[in-house]
C-alpha cells in the first residue's frame, strides 16, 4: 500500500522520537523529496493550537537562514500533524563527533559559529528552540550545520520539569538547564544558551559535561554547575563554556556576549559578513500568514501510484564486491542501495555484510538477542530493539538493506530514543561481534575506543580541572 497525505507520498522512516516520526516523502507533482515529521494530535497541546502556535509556524515558513532546516508547509488531518521540511542528508553532527572522538577547536568553532548564528536569528524572531539536543543538529551534503525543530518544541509537552523528566524512560536530560529541573518556570531563550554550552563542550571533549547513571545524581550535578575541563582546552574555550553554563540564569552569557568573546570572534565576521544584516532583520506577519499557517488535509492509502507519479527505476550498475565496499568506504553509499531503501541520509552506523538477506537477518537477530537488546522482527528485514544501558533505555531499529549486488547487504543501525553516546558505544560493541560476515565499515565508523569508556574517563579525570560555573572572570 502507498501512503499519501495531500500531494505527498510517505515512504520509509528516517528517525523516531518520543512524540513523532520522521519519514522520507516525495511531492507527487514535482518529484522533490522532503523529510516529513508526523506528530499525533493526541500529544499536541490543544490549548496552544491557536494564535501562538500558528504564529510560530507562520514565521518558520518565511524564515530563511542557511543553518536552519527550511519548513515548507504544515498539514493537519483528523489524527496527525505533518510538517513538510527540507531533507537534510549529511546525518547528525554528533555522529561525526563520536566518530572523531572529539573536534579540534578550529572545527568546533566553525560549527559553533553556524549554530549561534541560527539561534540568534530565531531569537530575533521571538522564537526559542527550547530543545537543542544532538538529534536536532544535522549536516547537509556539504557539511553545513542545519538546526531542525525550531518553534516546534512548544507543540509537545517534553520539557515540563523534573517530575516529567523523571517519568521519561528514554534518554536523560543531559542538555537541560538547572531552572528547567527546578520547576520554577524558565525563559526558553536563556535556557537555549545553557544548551549551547553543553553542545560546545561535547564538540571539544567528546563527552557530556554532566552525566551519571543515576538520574537523580545527574540532576544534582546539573544544579551544581561543576564541570571538568580537559587540559587540552584553551583558556578562551573554557571561559566561553563556563560563561554559558552559569547555574544562575541572570549571570549566564547572552548571544551578544557569546559573539563578543575572544574564542568566538576568530573568523566569525569574515564567515558571516554577507548574512549578518539578514540575521538582525525582523519578520513581519500578516493575519493571513497566521491564519493559513496550518492547512487541513487528507490521508489515504492506495494500492499503487498513478503511472505519471511513479519514479523511474534506477539504472543498472555493475559492480563487484570489492567495488561496492570501496564505494561504501569512500562515502558513495547512495550508489549501492536499491529502490525505496536508497540510502539518502549519511550515517556513521552502517556495515556492509556478505551473504543472503535471510541468513544475515537471522545472524544479526541472534547477536542482538545475545546482547540483551530485546530484538523483535518487524517484517523480514527490520529489527526493533530496546535495552537498558547506564540506567537509561536505548531504542533502535536495525535494517537489513539490499544493494545492487546480490551478495552484499547493508546493515544500518538507526537510533530511536536515548543517549547518543551510549547508542554509539553499543553499535561499536555489536559491530565487533559481526566480524565473520561484515566486510566493510564506514570510513568514519566504528572506533575501538569509546568516548565514554571507563578507561578513557579515568584518564580524562586525571588530566582535568574542576570549574564551578559561578561568575567566571576573564
Query: Can 131 be counted among the known catalytic residues?
Result: yes
- CA gap 81, 32 in Å, rounded: 20
Q: Which of 66, 119, 360 is closest to 255 using CA atoms?
A: 119
Looking at 357-400, list the stretches that DSSP marks H as alpha helix, in order from N- to C-terminal side: 357-370
Reference 361, options 374, 348, 377, 349; nearest CA is: 377
Given the residues 131, 140, 149, 211, select the one marked as catalytic. 131
Q: Taking a C-beta distance cutoff of 8 angstroms, is the pair 89, 332 a contact?
A: no
CB 79 within 8 A of CB 40: yes
Give SS3 for 184: coil
For residues 418 and 116, what is the distance between their CA atoms, to the nearest angstrom?
A: 25
Cell 499519501 maps to which residue?
4
Please tell me the distance from the alpha carbon of residue 394 to that of residue 420, in angstroms, as a whole number.
9
- The pair phi, psi for residue 27, each rounded to 5°, is -75, 120
The answer to whether 259 is a known ligand-binding residue is no
Sign of CA dihedral 299, 304, 308, 314: positive
Contacts of 435 (CB under 8 A, 6+ apart): none
DSSP-derived 3-state class of residue 100: helix
Output DSSP code: residue 435: T
Task: Give the whole-angstrom CA distance, residue 212 versus residue 72.
Answer: 39
Q: How far apart are CA 107 and CA 143, in angstroms?
A: 11
Torsion of CA 390, 365, 97, 449, to 10 degrees: 70
- Helical H runs in 266-390? 268-272, 276-280, 287-291, 321-329, 357-370
Q: Binding site: what residues are annotated?
A: 46
Q: What residue numbers does the annotated binding site for ATP cover? A: 46
Catalytic residue numbers, as ranges: 131
Amino acid at each position: 500500500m502507498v501512503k499519501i497525505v495531500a500531494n505527498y507520498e510517505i515512504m520509509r522512516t528516517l528517525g523516531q522520537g518520543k512524540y513523532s516520526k520522521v519519514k522520507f516523502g516525495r511531492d507527487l507533482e514535482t518529484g522533490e523529496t522532503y523529510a516529513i515529521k508526523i506528530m499525533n494530535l493526541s500529544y499536541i497541546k490543544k490549548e496552544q493550537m491557536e494564535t501562538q502556535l500558528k504564529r510560530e509556524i507562520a514565521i518558520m515558513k518565511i524564515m530563511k537562514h542557511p543553518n536552519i532546516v527550511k519548513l515548507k508547509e504544515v498539514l493537519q488531518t483528523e489524527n496527525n500533524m505533518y510538517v513538510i521540511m527540507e531533507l537534510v542528508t549529511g546525518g547528525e553532527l554528533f555522529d561525526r563527533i563520536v566518530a572523531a572522538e572529539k573536534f579540534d577547536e578550529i572545527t568546533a568553532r566553525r560549527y559553533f559559529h553556524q549554530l549561534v548564528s541560527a539561534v540568534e536569528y530565531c531569537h530575533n524572531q521571538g522564537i526559542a528552540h527550547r530543545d537543542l539536543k544532538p538529534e536536532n543538529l544535522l549536516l547537509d551534503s556539504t557539511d553545513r550545520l542545519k538546526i531542525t525543530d525550531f518553534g516546534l518544541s512548544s507543540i509537545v509537552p517534553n520539557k515540563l520539569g523534573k517530575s516529567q523528566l523523571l517519568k521519561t524512560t528514554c534518554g536523560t536530560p543531559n542538555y537541560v538547564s538547572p531552572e528547567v529541573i527546578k520547576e520554577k518556570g524558565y525563559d526558553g531563550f536563556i535556557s537555549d544558551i545553557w544548551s549551547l554550552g553543553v553542545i560546545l563542550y561535547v564538540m571539544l571533549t567528546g563527552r557530556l559535561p554532566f552525566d551519571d547513571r543515576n538520574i537523580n545524581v545527574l540532576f544534582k550535578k546539573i544544579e551544581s554547575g561543576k564541570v571538568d575541563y580537559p587540559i587540552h582546552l584553551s583558556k578562551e574555550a573554557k571561559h566561553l563554556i563556563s560563561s554559558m553554563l552559569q547555574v544562575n540564569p541572570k549571570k549566564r552569557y547572552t548571544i551578544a556576549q557569546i559573539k563578543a568573546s575572544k574564542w568566538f570572534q576568530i573568523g566569525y565576521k569574515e564567515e558571516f559578513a554577507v548574512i549578518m544584516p539578514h540575521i538582525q532583520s525582523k519578520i513581519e506577519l500578516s493575519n493571513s500568514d497566521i491564519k493559513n499557517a496550518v492547512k487541513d488535509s487528507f490521508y489515504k492509502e492506495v494500492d499503487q501510484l498513478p503511472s505519471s507519479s511513479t519514479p523511474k527505476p534506477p539504472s543498472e550498475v555493475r559492480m563487484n564486491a570489492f567495488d561496492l565496499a570501496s564505494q561504501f568506504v569512500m562515502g558513495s553509499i547512495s550508489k549501492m542501495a536499491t529502490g525505496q531503501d536508497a540510502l539518502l541520509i549519511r550515517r556513521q552506523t552502517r556495515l556492509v555484510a556478505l551473504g543472503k538477506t535471510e541468513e544475515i537477518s537471522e545472524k544479526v537477530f541472534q547477536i542482538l538477542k545475545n546482547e540483551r537488546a530485546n530484538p523483535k522482527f518487524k517484517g523480514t528485514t527490520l529489527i526493533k530493539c530496546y535495552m537498558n544501558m547506564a540506567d537509561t533505555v536505548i531504542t533502535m531499529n536495525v535494517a537489513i538493506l539490499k544493494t545492487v549486488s546480490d551478495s552484499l547487504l547493508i546493515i544500518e543501525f538507526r537510533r530511536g530514543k536515548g543517549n547518543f553516546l551510549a547508542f554509539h558505544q553499543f553499535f561499536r560493541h555489536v559491530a565487533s561481534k559481526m566480524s565473520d560476515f561484515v566486510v566493510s565499515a564506514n570510513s568514519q565508523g566504528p572506533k575501538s575506543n569509546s568516548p565514554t569508556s571507563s578507561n578513557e574517563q579515568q584518564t580524562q579525570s586525571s588530566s582535568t580541572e574542576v570549574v564551578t560555573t559561578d561568575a567566571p572572570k576573564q
